[in-house]
Amino acid sequence: MKIEDLPVSELVRSMVTENRRVIEAVEGQAKQIEEAVNSYVEAIKRGGKVVYFGAGTSGRIGFMDAVELYPTFGVGKETVVPLIAGGIRALASAVEGAEDDLAAADADFESLGANSNYLFIGLSASGTTPYVIRIMQRAKEIGAKTVAITSTPASTVTAIADLSITLDVGEEFVKGSTRLKAGTAEKIVLNTISTISMMKLGKTEKGLMKSLVPMNSKLRKRAVNVIVALTGRSPEEAMAALEKHGWDVERAIGELEKRT
């Protein structure tokens, strides 16, 4: 019987079971993830930037993590820069041959104006993506720290990178489709690295997002709740302070704390 002929219920159970291996793979790289966090924090404290780079699904995962850092922690492209083979248009659709375009990789690297204080995090499930390899090589040339996140041990990127996070997720449920377990593992690792790094950079307090940017009504309500929890002030006082300071949460907290 072909796998496609199995009942949907069995396919669902099988795929969920397969995904359990993702957590095991991530747990097995805890030490390497810790090292990546330390490098991330160090790069930013030195005045450098963190660069995520990848192609296809890996590039989109990097972009997603970077973009979400602004509303969550108030950190934008001045600190964390995402690059994807094929440029912005590759976020919405596949760009033929983009991951093999070394000239574009060089151009993307040059656009950064990078120096040795930068941290480069390359995402490549196969470990052989030419776009990722070229940018990682260029980063090494300027003395910047490099981290590889891959599902393939002893690959080209692991040989180049200063630190490798190798996620042994096994064969994909649909063979060769790295958007599945490999992509999920990359997402978990990058979430872990960036979130803990932001915490260590002082972007949270008591597990709350004190540096969030209230860009919509949901986040404005969250900002009020954060201020109430951290200062013990009323929602009305929190709202007034936020409006006074242009919805800058940290400044609003600072003012209310001075009143105590």
99 is an active site residue: yes
SS3 sequence, the chain?
CCHHHCCHHHHHHHHHHHHHHHHHHHHCCHHHHHHHHHHHHHHHHCCCCEEEEECHHHHHHHHHHHHHHHHHHCCCCCCEEEEECCCHHHHCCCCCCHHHCHHHHHHHHHHHCCCCCCEEEEECCCCCCHHHHHHHHHHHHCCCEEEEEECCCCCHHHHHCCEEEECCCCCCCCCCCCCCHHHHHHHHHHHHHHHHHHHHCCCCECCECCCCCCCCHHHHHHHHHHHHHHHCCCHHHHHHHHHHCCCCHHHHHHHHHHCC
18 is an active site residue: no
Amino acid sitting at position 121: I
> Which single residue is written with the structure tokens 């063979």?
175
Radius of gyration of the chain (CA): 21
Question: Which of the residues 99, 186, 237, 255 is marked catalytic?
Answer: 99
Question: Which of the residues 18, 35, 42, 68 is marked catalytic?
Answer: 68
User: Mind telling me the catalytic residues?
Assistant: 68, 99
